[in-house]
Amino acid sequence: MANGFLPISREDMKTAKIEQLDFVYVCGDAYVDHPSFGAAIISRILEAHGYTVGMIAQPDWKDAGSIQILGEPKLGFLVSSGNMDSMVNHYFVSKKHRPSDAYTPGGEAYKRPDHAAVVYSNLIRQTYRDTPIILGGIEASLRRMAHYDYWTDSFKRSILLDSQADLISYGMGEKSIVEIADALKSGIAVKDITFIPGTVYKTKNLEGLYDTITLPDYTAMKENKLNYARSFEVQYKNTDPCTGKILIEGYPNGQFIVQNPPQAPLTEPEMDEVYALPYMRTYHPSYESKGGVPAIAEIKFSLISNRGCFGGCSFCALTFHQGRTIQVRSHESIVEEAKQIIAEPDFKGYIHDVGGPTANFRFPSCEKQMTHGVCKNKQCLFPHPCKNLKVDHSDYLELLRDLRALPKVKKVFIRSGIRFDYLIEDSDDTFFKELVEHHVSGQLKVAPEHISDAVLSKMGKPENAVYRKFVEKYESLNQKLGKKQFLVPYLMSSHPGSTMKEAIELAEYLRDLGYMPEQVQDFYPTPSTMSTVMYYTGVDPRDMKDVYVPKNPHEKAMQRALIQYRNPKNYELVMEALKLANREDLIGFDKKCLIRPRKMSFEKKGKTTFDKTKPRKKNAIRNVHKKNNKK
CB pairs under 8 A, 24+ apart, for 172-175? 172/38, 172/41, 172/263, 172/266, 172/307, 172/321, 172/322, 173/38, 173/42, 173/136, 173/198, 173/263, 174/41, 174/42, 174/45, 174/263, 174/266, 174/270, 174/274, 175/263, 175/264, 175/266
Domains of the chain and CATH, by start: 10-199 (3.40.50.280), 477-598 (no CATH), 602-631 (no CATH)
Mean pLDDT of 149-154: 97
**CA 618 – CA 141 distance, rounded (Å):** 64
Q: φ, ψ for residue 15 (rounded to 5)?
A: -60, -40
Q: Quickly state the pLDDT bin for 626 (edges 50, 70, 90).
A: very low
CA distances from 423 to 357, 358, 475, 519 (A): 15, 11, 15, 25
Closest CA to 117 of 150, 161, 172, 73: 161
Mean pLDDT for the chain? 93
**CA 540 – CA 548 distance, rounded (Å):** 10
Q: List b or e across 50-70, with b for residues whose CB sees 16 or more CB atoms inside 10 angstroms.
A: ebbbbbbbbbebeebeebbeb
Mean pLDDT of 427-448: 94
Judged on CB neighbours under 10 Å (0-12, 13-18, 19+), 443 is: exposed
Supply the pLDDT for residue 1: 58
**CA 237 – CA 260 distance, rounded (Å):** 14
Give the whole-number percent of the chain exceeding pLDDT 70: 94
**Model pTM above 0.75:** yes
Beta-strand runs (E) in 219-319 = 246-251, 255-259, 282-283, 302-304, 306-307
DSSP-based three-state secondary structure for 512: helix
Query: Using one digit for the tens of pLDDT, what is the confidence trace for 455-500?
Result: 999 999 999 999 999 999 999 999 999 999 999 889 999 999 999 9
Residue 280 reports pLDDT greater than 70: yes
Could you tell me if 316 and 492 are in contact, meaning their C-beta atoms sit under 8 angstroms apart? no
**CA 97 – CA 37 distance, rounded (Å):** 23
> Residue 53 forms beta bridges with which residues?
23
Q: Quickly state the pLDDT bin for 611 (edges 50, 70, 90).
A: very low
DSSP state of 443: E
Using left for φ > 0, alpha for ψ between -120 and 50, and beta otherwise, residue 555 falls in: alpha
Using left for φ > 0, alpha for ψ between -120 and 50, and beta otherwise, residue 460 falls in: left
SS3 assignment for 328-378: ECCHHHHHHHHHHHHCCCCCCCEECEEECCCCCCCCCCCCCHHHHCCCCCC
Mean pLDDT of 132-148: 98
Query: Using one digit for the tens of pLDDT, what is the confidence trace for 185-213?
Result: 999 999 999 999 999 999 999 999 999 99
Query: Using one digit for the tens of pLDDT, what is the confidence trace for 11-62?
Result: 999 999 999 999 999 999 999 999 999 999 999 999 999 999 999 999 999 9
Q: Quickly state the pLDDT bin for 520 (edges 50, 70, 90).
A: confident
Q: φ, ψ for residue 328 (rounded to 5)?
A: -130, 160
Mean pLDDT of 318-341: 96
